[in-house]
Structure 1
Amino acid sequence: MDTAPRPVGELTYRDATPADTTALVMLIESAYRGDSSRTGWTTEADILEGQRTDAQGVLDVIEAPGSRLLVVEREGDLIACCQIEHRGEAAYFGMFAVAPGLQGEGLGRRIIAGAERIACETWGVSQMQMTVITVREELIAWYERRGYRRTGKLIPFPYGDERFGIPQRDDLTFELLVKPLV
């Protein structure tokens, strides 16, 4: 078996359309929930069960004013996605998923840099914001290495709303992370 790293080819970004909804739901679910998510390192399977998103949630992001759900493709294959949303002087980064079998190739850092560039070009924003579940220390550390900083601003987890998953612990909360883009 060849274990050499695969070359990371050219990435293309495009806006998602309603026709992409099913494939995007499958990608996001595979990156965060269930056994398939354990192939990568972004899994939330140990802290949340149930769904990460659904078709309506994806469509809402695609159709929301001031929001773009970016489809990331390599050689015509859907390999990742992320949302950017205009919020005044900032853009919000969310719904980030990389196919679990491709995680660890350096795609994530390339994709987030591309999303930051697109947000700056599209809206002229000076800051990117995101929220991350605070118990995801390894993920927060990864974002910190990309220039994001913790703000200490906490946002309650939506307990009882199964659209966001079924919590397996009672200490979940989100923290706002920010990165200056200028």
Structure 2
Amino acid sequence: MDTAPARDSHRLTFRDATEDDVPALVTLIESAYRGDSSRTGWTTEADILQGQRTDEDGVRAVVTAPSGRLLVVERDGALIACCQLEHRGEAAYFGMFAVRPGLQGAGLGKEIIAEAERTVREDWGVREMHMTVISVREELIAWYERRGYRRTGKLTPFPYGDERFGIPQRSDLAFELLVKGL
């Protein structure tokens, strides 16, 4: 795995996650997407999915993957956000994006995604960023569209029956591929 030095961007520090970060990262990701704590922010999936968003094994797999990194975002030494970056040939994949719920809506997401895009462009020379978003998450998709991502209409089925991804509360879930040229 590539190990990038920590980078400062305004009060934020960006660095690659280590295995020691895994428990705190699971807590952050769960708080941003599931349960009552996620309702503090606007990225909650609590109404469409219950159960876990990820677990230590899932996060550890991303942290140790040779084709990518999990970018940790800290402010004053405190973990406040993260995102997965995976090198996939001519493109990079952006996923596992989480911002502490009480800090959402203050512009951090824009700053973090810009740093993620800069990182993959400079470190891997990729020309596109890809991501998948649950297709019924219209407000979230609109946020990404304002950042320059476009809907492709390419859908992959939600893994119904695999509780590692949560317990669906609707029968119409799918992942849509969003793409942005870098």
1:84: Cα distance to partner? Answer: 0.4
Number of the residue aligned with 2:78: 77
**Equivalent-residue separation in structure 2 for 1:170 and 1:91 (angstroms):** 30
Alpha-carbon distance in structure 2 between the residues aligned to 1:10 and 1:176: 32
Partner of 1:3: none
Cα distance in 2, alignment partners of residues 130 and 107 from structure 1: 18
Partner in structure 1 of residue 4 of structure 2: none
Q: How does 1:56-95 map to 2 (within 5 A)?
A: 56-95=57-96
Q: How does 1:1-182 map to 2 (within 5 A)?
A: 9-181=10-182
- What is the TM-score of this pair, normalised by structure 2? 0.94
Q: Give the conservation status (yes or no) of the 8 Å contact 1:9–1:74.
A: no
Deviation of the 1:9 alpha carbon: 4.8
SS in 2 for 1:113: helix
Same amino acid, percent of matched pairs:
78
How many residues align structurally? 174
Alignment root-mean-square deviation, CA: 0.9
CA distance in 2, matches of 1:9, 1:102: 15
Cα separation, 1, equivalents of 2:25 and 2:59: 7
Q: Which consecutive aligned stretches of 4+ in structure 1 deviate over 6 angstroms post-superposition?
A: none
In structure 1, the residue corresponding to 2:45 is in which secondary structure? coil
Corresponding letter in the other structure for 1:107: L
Aligned partner of 1:4 in structure 2 is none
Q: What code does the residue aligned with 2:70 have?
A: L
- Residue 75 of structure 1, CA deviation: 1.1
Letter in 2 for 1:149: R
Q: In structure 2, the residue corresponding to 1:119 is in which secondary structure? A: helix
State the one-letter code of the partner of 1:51.
Q
**CA distance, structure 1, for counterparts of residue 12 and residue 119 of structure 2:** 13
CA contact under 8 A between 1:130 and 1:177: conserved in structure 2? yes
The alpha carbon displacement at 1:180 in A equals 0.2
Q: Is the 8 A contact 1:9 1:75 kept in 2?
A: no
Question: Do 1:116 and 1:128's aligned partners in 2 also have CA atoms closer than 8 Å?
Answer: yes
Measure, in 2, the Cα distance between the counterparts of 1:89 and 1:83: 17
Unaligned runs of 5+ in 2: 1-8
Question: CA separation in 2, counterparts of 1:122 and 1:159?
Answer: 36
TM-score, normalised via structure 1 length: 0.94
